[in-house]
Amino acid sequence: MKITYAFDLQGFPVGYFLWVTALLCIYIHPVSLAQAPPRSEIDINTFIAELFPIPPDDSEELYEALLQLYASPLDLNAATPDDLSATFILSEQQLRSFFEYRSKAGALLSLYELQAIPGFDIYTIRRLLPFVTISTKAVSMREALKNPGQHFLMFRSGKLMERQKGFAPLDSNSNAVTRYQGPRFNGYVRYRNARSGAYSFGITLEKDSGEEIWQWNARRQIFGIDYTSFHAQIINRGRLKNLIIGDFQMQAGQGMVTGAGFSLGKGSEVIRTVYRSTTGLKPYTSATEANFFRGIAATLSITSRTELTILVSNTKRDATQDTDSIHATITTSLPITGYHRTPSEIDKHNVLRELNAGLHLLHKMASQKGQVGVIMLHTGYDSFIQKRDLAYNRYEFSGKQNLIAGLHGDYHWQNVHFIGESAISKSGGTGAIGGLIASIGKKFDVSVMARHYARNFHTFYGNPISEATRPVNERAAYAGVRWSPSRRWQWSAYFDYFRFPWLKFQVDKPSRGFDYFLHLLWKPSKRLNAYVLFHEKHKQTNDPSASESDPSLIWSIKRTAMLNVDYEIPLKCAFRTRLQYGGLKNEHSEGSNGFTVAQDVTWHFSKLEFSGRAAFFKTDDYDSRQYVYEKDMLYAFSIPAYYNTGIRHYLMLRYTVSKQLKVWLRWSQTRYSDIEKISSGLNEINGNKRSEAKLQVMYQF
């Protein structure tokens, strides 16, 4: 998919260097680097489903953020409050308890010691374990290289069993432009060698179904396969706290300037929604081909509590470009799908050069009371950016240069955590977030937040909490509460009110809306937990009966209700039953409704794990489609849309051939009862079923 390596180096074949480096690391790496037995595998889909029973729009970014945490577990003896907060697991009270315990008892000697920390229950500890580790002493780079915490090579491929129109033979009414240029299978290769707190080295190669297998265009930074990602990182070497060469992301403050995809958003975790952790520089290991930096970045320790981060990025981005009346190139949009299957998609592949330079100065207060930071990011393009001349685009970014600067901070006072960030872009547009999290006793938590993003606020790598897909043209207020009367019961709720002072796509007047969420969790034992939830969102949209010259707005209402029951016998089997309902209506229609019933099962044997699902769904149309998480292979992600009437099932096997080798096989199928064609355009399938087969092989050195 989407973007390739970063430095031209005056024509040096960087792609060739990457391939050779990968082969050298895989085949010539000393035998002494064999690692200890790997940690138990986590089902990221289940973890996210607990945080977000209703999948957010940026599910894939959140998924990749959690995978990075899983791939680089935190050393509990070196972790900061922001590091642990970024796991989305611990409450404010649990965070305080942990650091009070560590300051009094000293470094932890074992993960079993977590049971001695006040406020830590078995359920919380089990969720935390995949993301943390214990190191009782600092290790040299030589020792770290000899004993990596993670060292693996992974390959995955799959394809749809039914033929899509894009792969069909040409007929008299079509030509090569209307067909995919590559084979039907997709491919993914990943190599990672890392030791938490010491170093990380990784390469990711990926092609989508329909993309060509081999491509080479040094000018566009395309070297071999469609998407190539590389990073090399060293950590905690004296004053050099972090150094990354290759692909990386950065998270600072509340994500106003650099958001790094670590946005918790609005979900069942109603309290920590309002706070973003300053996790700093992280390697980028995702196959999502946009919204990351490519170049070099470093974090230096100026004093014991002050750090300076500097980054420089030089990359290519997909772009839709036209030529104006004076033959200058104008960029009208920046696609982020990462698909390069047809000639028109290939023409957009990595045609726009983007340069970024930024810095972040962070000062941490004594006793981990809080921190304050200043951040700046300058972005430049080699083509003039100008979106289509439409009313709702009037305040969108135009030009070749953007500069954004921000100030962020947070402070702990007794049981209250204050947070805030403000930023201003070159256009003069401003953004601001302010809020707090408070614990009222041991059973009650509250959070409140206000946010403001001007209509001309331009941030390209920012990702703070927002109702819209981007932080622009929005004013809002949020409040969340959580009540835990006992270890068995937990009740959560939030209310969010938002306004859009300027026009939006398909909303031709200033508009407003609100949504609320209710969630009740029951955990009677270690094996059983169940929850029910209700979510309703009201938003204004264009009235389709109004004229274009005199637009008016009507209210659109979307509802979701869900019952979910999980039962697990550890190391033996697990069952999940889900009933889900969703509906969408407005003032002029009866609405569209749908429901899904899904049953999941997982069985564990000595070397074999079997997972499966059977689901029935029925919706009035696509507007009431249902999204339901599915269990997938390690480092894979699946949230299919269920719509119309039909059944959905999948089977997945994971077989442990040896301590080093694991194999996954997955087959899934959706069968519809009331349609003869699936999808549209080049993705169209003649028939009423859609089947996919996948294979994954992972070798751990």
Residue 68, CA atoms < 13 Å, CB-side half-sphere: 25
Among residues 70, 445, 459, which one has the least CA distance to residue 250?
459
pLDDT at 588 over 90: no
Residue 647: what pLDDT?
Answer: 97
Phi, psi dihedrals of residue 442, rounded to the nearest 5°: -90, -10
Catalogue the E-assigned strands of 252-386: 280-283, 293-301, 306-317, 320-323, 329-333, 352-364, 370-385
Residue 21: what pLDDT?
Answer: 40
The distance of Cα 134 from the centroid of its chain, to the nearest Å, equals 26
With beta carbons less than 8 A apart as the criterion, state whether 356 and 312 touch.
Answer: yes
With beta carbons less than 8 A apart as the criterion, state whether 495 and 479 touch.
Answer: yes
Measured distance CA(84)–CA(98) in Å, rounded: 10
Look over the chain and give the mean of its residue pLDDT values, rounded to a whole number: 87
Cross-strand bridge partners of residue 424: 405, 430
User: In sequence order, what are the residues at sequence separation of 6 or more whose Cβ sits closer than 8 angstroms to the Cβ of residue 629?
Assistant: 45, 46, 48, 49, 55, 638, 639
Mutual angle of helices 59-71 and 44-51, in 10-degree steps: 130
Phi-psi region of 73 (alpha: psi -120 to 50; beta: other; left: phi over 0): beta
Measured distance CA(2)–CA(205) in Å, rounded: 11
pLDDT digits (tens, 9 = 90+) for 518-573: 999 999 988 999 999 999 999 999 998 888 888 899 999 999 999 999 999 988 99
| The residue to which tokens 């429901």 are assigned | 595
Residue 9: what pLDDT?
Answer: 35
First to last CA, the chain: 28
| The residue to which tokens 């190539």 are assigned | 228
With beta carbons less than 8 A apart as the criterion, state whether 260 and 249 touch.
Answer: yes
Among residues 270, 274, 272, which one has the least CA distance to residue 481?
270
pLDDT digits (tens, 9 = 90+) for 100-113: 899 888 888 888 89
pLDDT digits (tens, 9 = 90+) for 623-670: 999 988 898 998 888 888 999 999 999 999 999 999 999 999 999 999
pLDDT at 125 over 50: yes
pLDDT over 70 percentage in the chain: 90
Phi-psi region of 305 (alpha: psi -120 to 50; beta: other; left: phi over 0): alpha
Phi, psi dihedrals of residue 661, rounded to the nearest 5°: -115, 130
Residue 367's pLDDT band, with cuts at 50, 70 and 90, is confident
pLDDT digits (tens, 9 = 90+) for 427-440: 999 999 999 999 99
pLDDT at 33 over 90: no
Q: What is the pTM of this model?
A: 0.88
Considering only 138-142, 234-238, 284-288, 694-698, which range has the smallest mean pLDDT? 138-142
The distance of Cα 593 from the centroid of its chain, to the nearest Å, equals 29
Residue 1, CA atoms < 13 Å, CB-side half-sphere: 16
Residue 14: what pLDDT?
Answer: 39
With beta carbons less than 8 A apart as the criterion, state whether 188 and 156 touch.
Answer: yes
Residue 57: what pLDDT?
Answer: 54
Measured distance CA(697)–CA(701) in Å, rounded: 13
Phi-psi region of 145 (alpha: psi -120 to 50; beta: other; left: phi over 0): alpha
